[in-house]
Structure 1
Amino acid sequence: MEIIGFEELKNLYATDEDFHTIWAKCATKVPCSDYHVQQGYLFKGNKLCISCISLREKILRNLYVDGLSAHSGRDNPYALISDQFYWSRIYRDVVRFIQRYLICQTPKG
């Protein structure tokens, strides 16, 4: 999946509410449990950590709206996203995104 602005993610970890503390440890090579830095990106295990809310929205839109998992309920999109990405409250964000999307797609009549 290619997302415009993805390169900017590298610059956001240091000031991100969710990741700034772990980023500071990992960036200085201090052991940080499940986390590690690879090519300037923060990973939890093999999942890319996503700090920017607008980038999270783009990922959700890309996977759900653009067809990979549209209309397959909320568990499948969650599995697809959480296999590749990590952020706090990811399940909640997937559920809310799908609810908003379904409301927007409901015919007004």
Structure 2
Amino acid sequence: MKVEAVVVRDRVETVMEAVEAETGHVGVTVLEAVGHGREKGITHEYRGRVFESRFLPKAHLTFIVRDEVAEDVLAAIADAARTGHENGDGISWMSPVHSVTHNRTGQRLADGERV
């Protein structure tokens, strides 16, 4: 399974550590991202002027995991990404993945092999 998440940039290390602690899975790809969800950005004031930041800094994490740990990875991400704010903590989801191949060796991962 491919488990992906968009999280607040400050929570990336926390999320990665939580996934490893809860599931033992260590592989991840992290991309810098910007965007917004329901909060539609933030408004802040600087020197008496109001500014609107529509695109907020985020990180996009991708984990390729065994099917049997995918739900645990999702739960670990949700717990670790939660900041306690009303909104803006991001989202996570999973999708099926087929034909995973190691680039170095060209070998496909067998069903029983650890990702």
Q: Does TM, normalized by the shorter one, top 0.5?
A: no
Larger RCO: 1 or 2 (CA < 8 Å, sep 6+): 2
TM-score where L is the length of structure 1: 0.34
Larger radius of gyration: 2
Which has more strand, going by share of residues? Answer: 2
User: By percentage of residues, which structure has more helix?
Assistant: 1
Q: TM-score, normalised by structure 2?
A: 0.32
